[in-house]
Chains A and B, each alone.
Chain A
């Protein structure tokens, strides 16, 4: 069964909604708001959705009971559903699949801060339900009345892509009529400080990634002009907080996805760079592309994670942007990362019929998805 992307919605550091994202992607000088305050210490360089506001999108009483991650996803979901129009399926046949790297951190912090500084009996009960990582997906399910499978996937940076891949399979196998699939991450100083202490964040004098926040929601259902044509996953064991030393898992995941899409590597027309500024990931991407595309090179769409920030949501954002480019809805003029330029990769010029999107998680898990137009 052909499973297409029927509509999408986003919240990024460029602002709320697809139009703001479109403006940012068409602006070669776009830079995100990069500052996250933390107590007793200088701010951390994290791409945050500084102007995010639920006013006019969610009723105040609803917004008040949601944590930030749930609000981000709820707003992205509202946009996707509005763009889709009236859904033709019973709501108990519509599911939700979300990937996240850190949903629940803010409520978790509120509870623990109260316990550690005020005492155990001061833990605020209102925060506990949202401290679970599945709160955003569940809250969207409750808000929209979706009674199909409601799944949250935790696979670090690759979580968004995993959610889309599994949603694709659920629809393709007829387990649900449609899935709202995507990802969400929130900017929280505790997460950012953790990555900073682990040496992963980009700071002056040290290469690394820029953590980000945002939400992506795609409506997957039978039909559609741009479809998920294949998905694949593999892994290469390594310590959980590190990238693997070789690109074996990425390569295996891409090959599986291409096989399912019945495409040869040389037929791939668009590669969506997974680079995030971390030198090891750049090395892995280079190794992957040299193995996958030794001669004929696809056009490249780059800099998404370096500008909007890294996270599970970034892997879903790559799918959303690639699908919109294939559909001719988006013009992307950002440059190709230097590590790819030096190997002869150039930006995509003109239309493309298909795209390969991949993600590599710390700890070694890798996923790839093939999108195809027509």
Chain B
């Protein structure tokens, strides 16, 4: 299974190229949040997408009618991914859409809820509900391109879209789809902003993954869509594969709703499951795109998992987290990070860990500080961890 198209919407840019270039330049999209009032919160910053820059040209009106921000991100990312893959589905194409489900239209519905609480049952509002179900972004992408294949929305919090990419590849492997649009989308909303603030899991300024002074995550938003298909189909069309989906591991640590199992043993099981699925050994791995949320608990537990699997060799494997640049995009995070890993494999350049300036001794790894690193890598991992102990790891390879 190969990736032939990548669409990316992030706080760094409304498309793949802009997001990638600004990421390599070490920029951050974390800035004061303007989407809703933030007075009274511990943190007033987030990685917010500049919605006005989304390219939605050619998306049919029914797919955009009452579409939430999250759905619009997904539509823009799908459009970009299909264009790169040079695919234009005929209406009724039996292609699948497999997304990680996030807050969907919750931001829009929150406006109604505030109104409803203030005004009682006479408060007006209907269309705010249209996009509340988490599977509506997938519905709208299928509606825009008239796709009739399987449509799956997985919601495992912050590992949702990592699993979506893995399951998307599995659908092709099982013969359930020829082409899969896989990824995820998530949009900022007051629920997640208030929730992470209430847990005191946010950095008042910006996330600094693996840094000794880190204080927490920065909430973000965005979307990523990967076009997956068989390598033979891509070759037949004369389309260049960008990367190969080699395998996926999904497990649960059965430990705690919000905290990772601190020894890293459970997360290590996920890493090994991904390597086993891909038929790889730890020695094959040349780069890891880490979950790296910059919370007190996540980063050391994640490093412990890497040490468990890679041992002393970990110091020689470049590891970066992009959450200091694009924020923690929650249910879209794994999709965005998979997309960035594909770009790293394709371009032979590894993105830096923006915000990591003084490495935490509890995180003994090579975080690619400051600047991107030119390095041709054959195999990379993209690792995610989520509320409820759900971890998922994708193994991706450089295209031949």
Note all chain A residues with C-beta closer than 8 A to B152.
153, 155, 162, 166, 233
Interface residue? B320 (CB, 8 A): no
Contact of B121 among A40, A116, A236 (CB under 8 A): A40
Pair B65/A132 contact, Cβ less than 8 Å: no
Contact of A152 among B143, B154, B197 (CB under 8 A): B154
B41, B118, B176, B257 — which one has the most chain A CB atoms within 10 A of its CB? B257
Q: How far is the CA of A357 from the CA of B146 in the complex (A)?
A: 26
Interface residue? B108 (CB, 8 A): no
Interface residue? A234 (CB, 8 A): yes
Pair A237/B143 contact, Cβ less than 8 Å: yes
Contact of B129 among A139, A146, A241 (CB under 8 A): A241
Which of B3-11, B72-80, B248-256, B309-317 touches A? B248-256
Interface string of A231-244 (1 = CB under 8 A from B): 00111111111000
From residue 231 to 261 of chain B, which have CB atoms closer than 8 A to chain A? 250-258
A311 → chain B closest CB, angstroms: 12
Pair A131/B131 contact, Cβ less than 8 Å: no
Pair B130/A240 contact, Cβ less than 8 Å: yes
Note all chain A residues with C-beta closer than 8 A to B154.
151-154
A264 → chain B closest CB, angstroms: 21
Note all chain B residues with C-beta closer than 8 A to A252.
148
Q: How far is the CA of A27 from the CA of B180 in the complex (A)?
A: 46
Which of B24-32, B133-141, B332-340, B377-385 touches A? B133-141
Pair A113/B117 contact, Cβ less than 8 Å: yes
Interface residue? B153 (CB, 8 A): yes
Pair B113/A116 contact, Cβ less than 8 Å: yes
From residue 76 to 131 of chain A, which have CB atoms closer than 8 A to chain B? 91-92, 95-96, 101, 108-109, 111-113, 115-117, 119-121, 123-125, 128-131
Q: How far is the CA of A112 from the CA of B136 in the complex (A)?
A: 22
| Chain B: interface size category | 35 or more
Pair A156/B191 contact, Cβ less than 8 Å: no
A90 → chain B closest CB, angstroms: 11
Pair A154/B388 contact, Cβ less than 8 Å: no
Given the interface pairs A138-B389, A238-B143, A248-B148, the reply to whether A125 lies near B198 with Cβ below 8 Å is yes
Interface set of A (CB-CB < 8 Å, partner B)? 38-41, 91-92, 95-96, 101, 108-109, 111-113, 115-117, 119-121, 123-125, 128-135, 137-139, 141-142, 144-156, 162, 166, 169, 190, 193-194, 197-198, 233-241, 248-249, 252, 361-365
Q: Other CB < 8 Å A-B pairs besides A125-B198, A149-B252, A198-B129, 20 of them?
A: A91-B254, A116-B118, A123-B197, A133-B155, A134-B390, A138-B390, A139-B388, A142-B257, A147-B252, A147-B253, A147-B266, A150-B251, A150-B390, A154-B153, A197-B125, A234-B148, A235-B148, A235-B149, A239-B143, A365-B150
Interface set of B (CB-CB < 8 Å, partner A)? 38-41, 62, 65, 94, 101, 106, 109-110, 113-114, 116-118, 120-121, 125-126, 129-136, 139-140, 142-143, 146-157, 163, 167, 174, 176, 190-191, 194-200, 250-258, 266, 269, 386-390
